[in-house]
Amino acid sequence: MDKFSLKIMCPDHVFFEGDATMVEFTTTQGDVGIYAKHIPMVNVIAPGKLTIHCEDGSTKVCALHSGFSEILQDKVTILADSCEHSDEIDIARAKEAKERAEKRLSQKDGVDIARAELALRRALVRLNVAGNK
């Protein structure tokens, strides 16, 4: 299977750099799966699960929280606000964040709905990636 270079950069570190046969993530337009020789494009990333298919057949599942991607035929670059491996996720903290966001959304007055919905989405992604729903 053809491979491509994948680089995922967060503001303070390089999260992943290596070859992959496929990468899957969520954009503001929906879920995408990218193989080598993909048509060039740029996407806005929405919070969601990131799956990296490595050339040895293994997969890495991560939580990807917004950013941008540049897709070229032999290279994919993701500039992420943050990205977490599944084993790095603090499940208790994610559950607390989910409850806080749901509480804010249930209040009608003085709440930034878009911000609360984004916080809820991030918490749900973390719980999903960590194996909890």
Q: What is the per-residue burial (b if ≥16 Cβ within 10 Å, else e) of 67-88?
A: bebebeeeebbbebeebbeeee
pLDDT of residue 113: 85
Domain ranges, residue 103: 90-129
Question: Within this chain, do residues 109 and 56 fall inside the same structural domain, yes or no?
Answer: no
Question: Is residue 92 pLDDT above 50, yes or no?
Answer: yes
CATH number for the domain that contains residue 101: 1.20.5.440
Q: How far is Cα 98 from Cα 120, in angstroms, rounded to an integer?
A: 5
pTM of the shown model: 0.87
Average pLDDT score over the chain:
93
Name the burial class of residue 61, with classes exposed (0-12), middle (13-18) and buried (19+) by CB atoms within 10 angstroms of its CB.
Answer: middle
Interatomic CA distance for residues 9 and 91, integer angstroms: 24
- Domain tally, the chain: 2
Tens digit of each residue's pLDDT (9 = 90 or more) over 40-77:
999 999 999 999 999 899 999 999 999 999 999 999 99
Is pLDDT at 132 greater than 70 in this prediction? Answer: no
Is beta strand 75-85 parallel, antiparallel or unpaired with respect to 4-10? Answer: parallel
Q: Are residues 100 and 74 part of one domain?
A: no
Q: What is the mean pLDDT of residues 68-93?
A: 95
